[in-house]
Amino acid sequence: MMKFDNERFNRGYQGHFPEDFLWGGAVAANQCEGSWLAEGKGLDLASCFPDGIHHQYRGHPQPGRYYALENAIDFYRRYKSDIQLFREMGFKVFRTSINWTRIFPQGDEQQPNEAGLQFYDDLFDELLKNGIQPLITLSHYETPMGLVEKYGSWRNRKLIEFYTRYCEVVFTRYREKVKLWITFNEINNMRRNPDYVAGILFREDETNRAQVVYQANHHMFVANAKAVQLCREIIPDAKIGCMLASSNVYPNNCDPVAVFETQDLRRRSLYFADVMLRGYYPGYIYRQWHDNHCHIEMAEGDLPLIKQYTNDFLAFSYYKTTTHEAGQPFFGDTGGDIGTPNPWLKTSDWGWQIDPLGFRYTLNELWDRYQVPLFPVENGLGAADKVEDGKIHDPYRVDYLRAHLQCLKEAIRDGVEVMGYAYWGPIDIVSAGTGEMKKRYGFIYVDKDNAGQGTLQRIKKDSFEWYRRVIATNGAEL
Ligand code: P53
């Protein structure tokens, strides 16, 4: 049971970030590590989308084609010096994922790959040595292709067993090192992109796609609950969260039809957290199943397990908002739902509408609904930076960040409990949406272009110093 922490609230109410607030940054293994088949590693799902999530699955890597993820930013070999830069900024937390295929290359082995386990041991040691806590995503679009091809990925109940085996191995191995975990990255993107998120890759005989997706969701919910159970048993002092992509959506106007449909659209995302945090399927999902002629197969014991093992916190990404007009179809891209433009907001180089107050709105919305600690683990601005005389002036990134952090501070004053803030892509990495290097989020520039040319040299941008000061003053100076 959560207890209301009066002191924490009072400090927040006065406009201070909590003393133990976890400032930091976030990446995903596949987007930064490179060495994509090194030391026994298998092929992961993300590697088969060389043009990013917006484009289709391209199958196994083809010889002669350029793949940005093959070497990415070579974090696999350069993490020590990169961590020095994070330390210089004062990071308290660093979110990355374990690439599942470094541990279980095909996914169905009985024994893990020791070289992969050793790599993450070294990485976590290096973080801890520098006073940075690892926050680890267990699956960030990195399902082993072996499981996709042999078993049909998450549509198959067997995946629960493979995922659970993987969790048990890494919880046991890193029990002394990792106290913060996330089960699945942005699990609600299953609705928008089941191929990328969970390797669904529809088959010709599957006419009822909703059935396949809801069934796969169910398997993931059971896997999530089992991960929570294992984590409690193996690392009792750890916290294990679930995660949503939570870029939000507003009604485009006051037409009640638009308002009602927007609520419906929003629930298509919230449903995932409803199950994992409240511990049961909400009524509106039974209606969805009914309306879509879905019959979800469950094993005895699934629902009690989901009920008993709910997550400790809610991690979420937030980049932008969009609007929904009555009658408009529901679809989206990497940033979230795509709707109609909002004339009140400015737009990034990649068409994402920048909405700091929407961040405060979303924090309040999620807190009201779940009453569990929140952790924004992705927020940031992707832009086409220019190097001039060896320098990168990025005032637009500072503006984005300042505005969002001011709203975060206000949300804490509103009484929302927030564990920390992890900026997305503190060092430039490969974009998940487009597969580009050009879409840069970093405080640290990486010299590599879309064609793979460059020295991989790291250069601090102006925003580096700005974020360093924010952390040094615990957010007093924004
Ligand atoms: P980029 C949805 C689907 C896939 C990725 O995106 C997504 C989202 C966001 O709602 O994005 C997350 O690189 C994701 C990261 C990704 C980041 O947002 O397209 O967890 O892997 O890089 C930013 O600009």
> CB of 291 within 8 A of CB of 308?
no
Q: Annotated catalytic, 186?
A: yes
Nearest to 189 by CA among 252, 258, 111, 271: 271
Atom 16 of ligand 1, nearest CA residue: 432
- Supply the residue whose CA is at minimum distance from atom 3 of ligand 1: 334
Six token digits for residue 202? 């529809």
Low-confidence residues of the chain: pLDDT under 70: 1-6, 8-9, 332-336
Which helix (H) or strand (E) covers residue 256, if one does? helix 256-273
CATH 3.20.20.80 fits 6-472, yes or no: yes
Protein residue closest via CA to atom 22 of ligand 1: 432
* Cβ pair 124, 174 in contact under 8 A: yes
Between the CA of 432 and the centroid of ligand 1 the distance, in Å, is 5
Residue of the nearest CA to atom 12 in ligand 1? 334
At 423-445, the pLDDT tens digits run 999 999 999 999 999 999 999 99
The closest-lying atom of ligand 1 relative to the alpha carbon of residue 382 is 24
Which position has the token pair 């996914």?
A: 107
CB of 211 within 8 A of CB of 295? yes
Give the pLDDT of residue 1. Answer: 46
Q: Which of 143, 186, 355, 430 best tests ligand 1's pocket when mutated (most atoms within 8 Å of CB)? A: 186
From the candidates 33, 142, 378, 417, give the one annotated as an active-site residue.
378
Helix (H) or strand (E) holding 182: strand 180-182
Confidence (pLDDT) at 2: 53
Ligand 1 centroid to residue 86 C-alpha, Å? 21
For a substitution probing ligand 1, which of 334, 427, 441 has the most ligand atoms within 8 Å of its CB? 334
**Whether the Cβ atoms of residue 96 and residue 136 lie closer than 8 Å to each other:** yes
Q: How far apart are CA 219 and CA 160, in angstroms?
A: 6
- ∠61-64-66 over CA atoms, to 5°? 70
What's at 430, amino acid-wise?
V
Q: Are strands 321-324 and 248-251 parallel, antiparallel or unpaired?
A: parallel
Query: By C-alpha distance, which of 380, 378, 383 is closest to 438?
Result: 383
Beta-strand runs (E) in 229-371: 239-245, 248-251, 313-317, 321-324, 331-333, 336-338, 346-347, 353-354
SS3 178: coil
pTM (global) more than 0.85? yes
Q: How far is the CA of 34 from the centre of ligand 1 (A)?
A: 18
- Alpha helices (H) along 274-394: 283-291, 302-308, 356-370
Report CA(433)–ligand 1 centroid distance (Å): 6
Say which DSSP state 262 is in.
H
| Ligand 1 center from residue 25 Cα (angstroms) | 14
In this prediction, residue 57 carries a pLDDT of 86
pLDDT score, position 3 = 57
Query: Atom 15, ligand 1: which residue's CA is nearest?
Result: 432
Q: Which amino acid is at 363?
A: L
Per DSSP, the chain holds a count of helices (H) and strands (E) of 16, 16
Bridge partners (DSSP) listed for residue 422? 24
Query: For atom 19 of ligand 1, which residue has the closest CA?
Result: 433
SS3 217: helix
pLDDT in the model for residue 339 = 86
Q: Whose CA is nearest to atom 13 of ligand 1?
A: 431
Using the mean position of ligand 1's atoms as its centre, give its distance from the Cα of residue 333 in Å. Answer: 9
Q: What is the pLDDT of residue 365?
A: 98
Query: Which long-range contacts link 294-300 to residues 24+ away (Cβ below 8 Å)?
Result: 294/208, 294/210, 294/211, 294/214, 294/215, 295/211, 296/214, 296/215, 296/218, 297/157, 297/215, 297/218, 298/218, 299/157, 299/222
**Which of 137, 316, 424 gets mutated to test ligand 1 (max ligand atoms within 8 A of its CB)?**
424
* Residue list, ligand 1 pocket, CB within 6 Å: 28, 31, 53, 185-186, 189, 245, 247, 317, 334-336, 378, 382, 424, 431-434, 439
- How many other CB atoms sit within 10 Å of the CB of residue 99? 28
State the closest ligand 1 atom to the C-alpha of 439, by its place in the atom list counted from 1: 24
Q: Which two tokens stand for residue 141?
A: 């679009």
Q: How far apart are CA 41 and CA 34, in angstroms?
A: 11
Mutate to test the pocket of ligand 1, among 317, 337, 377 (most ligand atoms within 8 A of CB): 317
Query: How many Å lie between the centroid of ligand 1 and the Cα of residue 352?
Result: 12
Closest residue to atom 4 of ligand 1, CA basis: 334
Cα(211)–Cα(287) distance, rounded to whole angstroms?
A: 13
Which residue's CA is minimally distant from atom 7 of ligand 1? Answer: 334
What phi and psi values does residue 203 have, to the nearest 5 degrees?
-100, 160
Are 421 and 361 in contact, with CB atoms under 8 Å apart? no
Which element (helix H / strand E) includes 386?
none
Active-site residue, 378 included: yes
User: What gap in Å lies between CA 420 and CA 377, rounded to an integer?
Assistant: 8
CA of 111 from ligand 1 middle (Å) equals 31
Closest ligand 1 atom to 192 CA: 3
Q: Residues 471, 121, 142, 136: what is their CA dihedral angle, to the nearest 10 degrees? A: -40
Q: How far is the CA of 386 from the centre of ligand 1 (A)?
A: 22
Which atom of ligand 1 has the smallest separation from the CA of 193? 3
Contact (Cβ atoms closer than 8 angstroms) between residue 140 and residue 185: yes
Confidence (pLDDT) at 419: 98
Distance of CA 67 to the CA centre of its chain: 22
Q: Which of 33, 142, 186, 261 is flagged as catalytic?
A: 186
